[in-house]
Amino acid sequence: MIDPAIEDKLPPFHRPLKIRSALERLIESPAFEFSARTSRLFCRAMREAFSFQARRSKFLKKYLKQEDFDPASVRTEKDIERMPFVFVAALKERDLTTLPESQIVLELKSSGTSGQRSRMQLDIGSLMRVKRMAWKVFEGLGLTDLRAEHDYICFTYDPAVAKDLGTAWTDKLLTGFTKKGEIFYSFRWSEQKNDFYFDMEGAVSALKKAEDTQKLTRLIGFPAFALKLTDEFRKRHGRNVRLNPGSSVITGGGWKTLAEEALDKKIYRGILARNLGIPAANVRDLFGMVEHGVPYVDCPLGNFHIPNYGRIIPRDPATLKPLGFGKTGLLQFITPYLTSYPSLSLLSGDFGRVEKKCKCGLPGALLFISGRAGVKKLKGCAISAATML
């Protein structure tokens, strides 16, 4: 049975994990260290994760046999390209959990309507690894601070109500990456409407309070709402808000049905930074999938960096052959942190490309998202949220 208070009983995610396998050893390596050592460690972790799950999952065992793939064959980065993948749609249509229900401590659902929601079921090891991994990524990008208190304005669902929604869980996690002050969730639950609504009045008041107190403040959540809030503040006060310049923004979830209002990311960063009175380098974006778990976060230049905990392979949509750097294709996401769900190698419905390096100087490749593949739009969190604007 799932314990709703399990996360409160776990060690803080800013503390190192106990090393029980190559999975923990990989997560404890620096997020953006890329060397022969970390490459070997990633391959070893992939072997262990695939072997562990194949012994326990009838689906995965049969699938690997069908594809004539032996997890023990993963020895080099080149071998990773041969890994069979599960289509993300399969996770939305079937329960493929590897472990018995008694070992599952947290269930998270992806966004979408009935029939389009993945159920990510995590055992305690997977839960601790995914939280520690997120901390290490944000730490590597200079976005953690346990000494200075930050207040939060969150453009997301109140996690006290939307407990199993992946985006709500993620944004609650993000508020723990600094010393916590006050937290305002702008998507409030209405008992009368039996639905969420965007509390613009409360959000404007929270933004004005942040200006008055000059406390460090971090805005997180869907990008359209951050922009709408600053526009509304300017309408009411006749000027832009002036936050403590050390304040920051971490957006995520995309624009979805507000695509006609979407701005180029670099233009958006400049406008929002000006609207808030903070440097553009303090406005970051986050790309992630609840089915995958690895966060891809902007550097100060506004580029998604791929941490050492995952690999991304763009594939030709017609042949599914790997395309290499600089070419746009369907994105395959790979990570070994999971022991409870067979999404170790996942073919997404997203188009994008991978580039070799960034001018910011941080090692590792970059991820560029081009958009969603297919003619049928999958409904998601940002689409649901957009109806509140």
pLDDT at 383: 44
Of residues 194 and 312, more confidence is placed in 312
Q: What angle do CA 206, 172, 117 make, to 5 degrees?
A: 120
The CATH number of residue 340's host domain is: 3.40.50.12780
Q: Is residue 277 part of a domain?
A: yes
Mean pLDDT for the stretch of residues 30-37: 96
Q: Is residue 309 part of a domain?
A: yes
**pLDDT > 50? residue 114:** no
pLDDT at 140: 97
| Partner residues linked to 221 by β-bridges | 155, 251
Phi, psi dihedrals of residue 252, rounded to the nearest 5°: -170, 155
**pLDDT > 50? residue 171:** yes
Mean pLDDT for the stretch of residues 226-245: 97
Separation between Cα atoms, residue 302 and residue 357, nearest integer Å: 13
Task: Give the pTM.
Answer: 0.91
Matching residue, tokens 């699938």:
63
pLDDT category of residue 352 using cuts at 50, 70 and 90: very high
**pLDDT > 80? residue 342:** yes
Helix residue ranges per DSSP H, the chain: 6-9, 22-27, 36-54, 58-66, 77-80, 88-93, 124-140, 166-174, 200-213, 223-237, 265-276, 381-386
pLDDT at 8: 82
Number of folded domains that form the chain: 1
Name the token pair of 121.
């079921």
CB 210 within 8 Å of CB 247:
yes
- Which among 250, 265, 227, 225 is positioned nearest to 174, based on CA atoms? 250
Q: Is residue 117 part of a domain?
A: no
Q: Is residue 148 part of a domain?
A: yes
pLDDT category of residue 376 using cuts at 50, 70 and 90: very low
* Residues of the chain above pLDDT 90, percent: 74
Separation between Cα atoms, residue 256 and residue 385, nearest integer Å: 9
Alpha carbons within 13 A on the beta-carbon side of 252: 25
Burial 280-316 (b: 16+ CB within 10 A, else e): bbbbbbbbbbbbbbbbbbbbbbbbbbbbbbbbbbbbe
pLDDT at 389: 52
pLDDT category of residue 302 using cuts at 50, 70 and 90: very high
Q: Is residue 313 part of a domain?
A: yes
pLDDT at 193: 82
**pLDDT > 60? residue 382:** no
pLDDT at 116: 62
Burial 67-83 (b: 16+ CB within 10 A, else e): eebebeebeeeeebeeb
Q: Is residue 41 part of a domain?
A: no
> What pLDDT, in 10s, does the model give residues 251-279?
987 655 444 455 688 899 999 999 999 99
Query: How many angstroms separate the first and last alpha carbons of the chain?
Result: 38
Q: Is residue 114 part of a domain?
A: no
Q: What count of other Cβ atoms lies within 10 Å of the Cβ of residue 222?
A: 29
**pLDDT > 70? residue 343:** yes
Q: Is residue 222 part of a domain?
A: yes
CB 335 within 8 Å of CB 298:
no
Of residues 37 and 383, more confidence is placed in 37
pLDDT at 257: 42
Looking at residue 368, its amino acid is F
Q: Which domain holds residue 149?
A: 128-386
